[in-house]
Amino acid sequence: MLKCRMIAESGNNLGTVNTDQAEKIEEGLAIMRKDGQSALAERQYVRVHAQALNGDKGFILEQDIQPVESLPKIADLSAAEQAHYREIGLANLSRVAVVKGNGGLATGMKLDKAKNLIEVKPGVTFLDVIARQTVRDHTNLVLMNSDSTDADTKEYLEKNRPEGFGYSSFMQGRFPRLDRDLRPVTGLGDAGFNPSGTGGFYTSLLTEQRANANGEILNLLESLISDGNEWMFFSNGDNLGATVDPVILGYMIEHKSPFIMEVAERTPNDVKGGHLVYTMVEGEERLTLREGGQVSPEDIDPRTGKTYGEDINRHKFFNTNNLWYHLPTLLQILKQYDGVLPLSLVLNPKGELYQLETVIGTIIDLISGAGAVVVGKDRFAPVKKYDDLFLLWSDVYVLDAAGNMSINPRRAQSLLPVIKLDKNYFGDPKSFADRVDINNAPSMLNASSLTVIGDVSFGHNVKIMGDVIIENNTGRPQHIPDGFGLFGHSDAVFSWDEQGNIVVKK
């Protein structure tokens, strides 16, 4: 019982854990101590592991929430309002710390290096674009690396540092992976760990040491504040649409907002992501982020047969993970919870194992007065799979010298094309590059969708228009020749006859 009590106390009075549960938590703590994790990280681990052991799967049920009907839209601001907010934002850019999540190895894309080292346009990587944006905005960049990306990132930036560019970095924390009995696995080395989730960022703010401008060694958050940073913008490094927008910054300053989450309107392509809801917190209705993994598969809408979380008409707004903070308020919140925020647990199944994770955006319901604004899809262009990279390489997106990645103004359609590539042939870096040339990717400017089934490669100056389905069932590789145009509609499929000619099947 002594061990149970000690573990419960280290987890901020989580309640009783039985002997078997205590042993599992203690095994995880021993692994974390051997790994050199901080005492604060250990306390966060105890909290989430105990939650999982007590049957908390992190679900937020429909009966406990209310939908968010409307939110302020940046696009609805008048020209005068935008100019006013922009003026305020531009005057305060130098007081903004920019943090980019750079921990992704994109195992789903079968990469063996940091995802942010992928080229997004010929000769230009994610990190190159981030560096250009940093120099342009004169902001203070901090990279949140992981053990999988830290060395690659530092080596690349040492060789490819633009004039005037500077940055600092820290390592994202990690938790032991768990077996199906929620016991920490052993004997797997680094593979026995998973990143603690983006929510581990808050732990790092208090545990990572950094010298401020005066040479004082402080924790990362206090160091940023002491250097004159009053606001912070966090986004994922693979989302090149997430720049420091002076209009949103000015809006935040004018309204004295302690926290703002950028959200976008959900479309059929955004069914699985996290969305905003309202919950009651301390007697106050607050915005709450419900991640896809927090939607119970048994919480079914009887009218549709699908989960309530999939209803994009009921739950209209998804989290872009572009987050704005007032740093003194954030420091106050962290002190209020003694450094261990009660972030929602996500128990993430990965094959035969589980990962304990917390999510950075779930802090929103801990901050009284936190808000959200609706932004356009131009501020949300992440790369999670090769479908996304295909679109980024195409002419739908244009990149300028200052680091602005934006939707091509020549594209008439408001929605982005939906891309579905055959994972058997577009599932790893070499296979993808063998079939798509970054220097001459197919034009998608007038495309609504593209589906590729089978082994297909694309020549130069290929144009995709409308809704195009390409199916290669010949049993051998096929090629779309240079200069070929494909104009599709819903009941047509492009394929090949026995002579290797492209034909249209209906």
Catalytic residues, which ones? Answer: 384
CB-based burial label for 15 (10 Å; 0-12, 13-18, 19+):
exposed
The Cα angle at residue 196 between residues 241 and 248, in degrees rounded to 5: 30
The HSE-up count of residue 396 (CA atoms within 13 Å, CB side) is 27
Rounded distance, CA 286 to CA 444, Å?
41
**Helical spans, DSSP H, in 337-466:** 386-393, 429-435
Return the HEC string of 62-91.
HHHCEECCCCCEHHHCCHHHHHHHHHHHHH
Q: What is the DSSP letter of 205?
A: H
Classify each residue of 101-111 as buried b or exposed e, where b means 16 or more C-beta atoms within 10 Å of its C-beta: bbbbbbeebeb
With left for phi above 0 and alpha for psi between -120 and 50, is residue 316 left, alpha or beta?
alpha
> In this structure, what DSSP letter does residue 237 have?
T
Q: Is 343 in contact with 199 (CB distance < 8 Å)?
A: yes
On the CB side of 303, CA atoms within 13 Å amount to: 4
Alpha carbon distance 343, 229 (integer Å):
25
Three-state SS for 126-188 is HHHHHHHHHHHHCCEEEEEECCCCHHHHHHHHHHCCCCCCCEEEEECCEEECECCCCCECCCC
Residue closest to 343 by CA, chosen among 220, 460, 198, 471: 198
Q: Among 140, 139, 67, which residue's Cα sits nearest to residue 288?
A: 67
The candidate with the shortest Cα–Cα distance to 450, out of 394, 373, 503, is: 394
